[in-house]
Amino acid sequence: MKKTFQKPKQELLYMSGVEAYPILSYWHSTKPIYSCDFNLAERKSNKFLTCGGDSRIKIWKFKDIQELNEINETSSNVDDITSSIKTHFRKAKDRINDIEYITTLNGFSKPVNTAKFSPCGKYIAGCGDDGYIIIWEEIDEESLEKYKKELAEKYAQLPQEQQFFIQNQLKNDISKIINPYNFPVKFAENFNDEYEDEYSNINDIKQLYRIIKYFPVTNLSANEQLEIYSLDWSPDSQHLVIGYMNTYIKIIDINESQQPYCVVKKNHNDVVQGCVWDPLNELIISMGADRAICIYKPKYTNSKLTDLKLVNRIVKGELDTSGKQENIFAQVDFNFFRKLQFSPDGSLLVLPYGIYKNTNGEELNCCHIFHRANLLRGLNKPIAIIPNLKKRCLCVSFNPNLYKNDSSLERSVLGLEYKMIFAIATDDEIMIYDTNKLECLMIIKNLHYYPIYSMSWNSEGNKIIISSKDGFLSTIDFKTYRFGDIYIRKIENEPMDIVNEDKKISTEEVKVTNLSQPSIINVLQIRKKQ
């Protein structure tokens, strides 16, 4: 029997404790925002980055503000609902005032596809259509104050009538600070076209990043396109894995000055669209347009990463008890990103672009969930799927926190002694799940008029930012909504219940869940552009 999506009777702009809204500002000069990422190393800072079609990476921060009054979500009167919508859009326009601009990272000549903070928060890595990798290092506060003092002393000797010269000289001096190795970086003609007075005064400098690496992934040629679509940091912030146009993945050692790549592998037959590094540092996963995932184990020699062992390459998988093998990933479509993610404890890998067939032979959209024990054993059978997605899942993002299981629940579906929260996104919906029951907690729909490209949780797990092709950023605020109490690790730096013999996850059967009457937040009640 075909499974049907059960739609709640009433759609709301808001649900209790949750707000979802676009932030109406041209973040990257009306160009698409390809990626966004919170800095998880700084608790409660809410610092994040965006990158996009204007060839730049920008650093921002959510300000600490008082809670806004909730809109009454129980109104049944049509006039009241209309008034709520107007209030919602007025707030969405004003929400840019909740954002503090920090700085802009220049250097790319073409759109930036992906940028990420390192786990330690000290570095930022970016890549894009020009085929270059740039790695920045944050200049610490003490060094920044030293630079500012030196520059202030230098310009104090110049006459005030040379103000124009001072401003331009200041920008040149700062360019030398952020690129001390004199890499051939092509900075934009204007240091920042949207914030022209950013460095007109020394005291305006809030934060600086120094370029420590700048190089192409290979020798560029007129006949070869080498767009880089994905990257991810190792847990120790010392390596990067990148995936790009010509089917390769490469590992970068950020401490190596002579040879930028310590490992090069080619196991895909098409573009590598996503890659992720296991938080326990045992596995690296790549996902490509060839409808395959490759599972690697890093190999070390004298504490240096020197090779990757291909554990498995999964194109077809076993989705039922019959043992039949079938394709489990969808073909290429409009989106060049396949943003997969490990759970924060490393036990689960959730993969976008999943497909499966129901009993009628219909091909349906889903997400596949693999257990690390199966990945390590080279098995190609997911332990669970999230089915009945109306559109393809484009990206996955985990809440970085672990939560205590619900007291009423004897045992979670996956046998874990804690629960994790994750979001999956189609091009127009965000769905929130937990690992207790693998049931949808809520759906946020129509945040954007164009497809969603990426999303990221903050360190506290109470905010998600979403980027889109339409050039806008949106956010979901879990203002008073609680996922539960934080689960405290008993032993640090030790995997938690990854393979517990007493509560081992069954690999004999795939668990399928329904979207069972989740709350729906319908933000933009206007027809979405295709």
Mean pLDDT by 10 residues, the chain (530 residues): 33 64 86 96 91 94 60 36 51 75 90 96 94 93 89 79 72 86 73 51 83 77 70 95 86 81 85 93 92 92 90 85 79 76 95 86 89 89 88 93 84 84 92 90 88 94 94 91 84 42 37 50 50
C-beta neighbour count of 13 within 10 angstroms: 20
- C-alpha span between 117 and 98 (Å, rounded): 22
Residue 489: predicted pLDDT: 66
Residues 460 and 43: beta-carbon distance below 8 Å: yes
pTM: 0.85
Residue 321: predicted pLDDT: 61
- C-alpha span between 14 and 88 (Å, rounded): 10
Residue 517: predicted pLDDT: 53
CA 306 to chain centre: 27
Say which residues have a Cβ less than 8 Å from residue 326's Cβ, sequence separation at least 6: 316, 317, 319, 356, 357
Residue 58: predicted pLDDT: 94
Burial 250-287 (b: 16+ CB within 10 A, else e): bbbbbeeeeebbbbebebbeebbbbbbbbbbebbbbbb
Residue 459: predicted pLDDT: 95
CA dihedral 55, 56, 57, 62 (to 10 degrees): -120
Residue 525: predicted pLDDT: 47
Domains and CATH numbers, the chain: 18-139+207-522 (2.130.10.10), 140-206 (no CATH)
How far is CA 300 from each of CA 252, 307, 482, rounded to the nearest angstrom?
A: 14, 7, 42
- Comparing C-alpha atoms, which of 276, 389, 395 is closest to residue 337? 395
- Comparing C-alpha atoms, which of 269, 273, 276, 267 is closest to residue 288? 273
Helix, strand, coil distribution of the chain in percent, nearest 5: 15, 40, 50
- Comparing C-alpha atoms, which of 110, 87, 92 is closest to residue 32? 110
Six token digits for residue 77 = 């009167």
